[in-house]
Amino acid sequence: MVICSCNSLTHKDVESAVAHGATRPSEIYAAKRCKAQCGNCVPGVVCMLKEMRMRQHKAAEAAAIAASLPLPAMAQAEVLSA
């Protein structure tokens, strides 16, 4: 989906920039080597950025919780027998 028609910035471009560490709209535009021109896309970029960062945060929390849980008995047996 095209987020910014001025720069042909797509949702994939935004996802890629966030995956590579973008935390601000300006960093998303910089990743595509462009900048907001008319400004109509900025609210959409900000919304996507917030949503993706929230998903990253939740995934990191889930991974931390999963890492702190004890292994089920069968998995423990497999680890010990290896």
Nearest to 32 by CA among 8, 5, 3: 8
Length of the chain: 82
- pTM (global) more than 0.75: no
* Domain spans of the chain, in order of start: 2-81
Q: Give 18-74 pLDDT, tens digit per residue.
A: 999 999 999 999 999 999 999 999 999 999 999 999 999 899 888 888 888 776 655
2-81, which class in CATH? Answer: mainly alpha
* CA angle (42, 8, 26) in 5-degree steps: 40
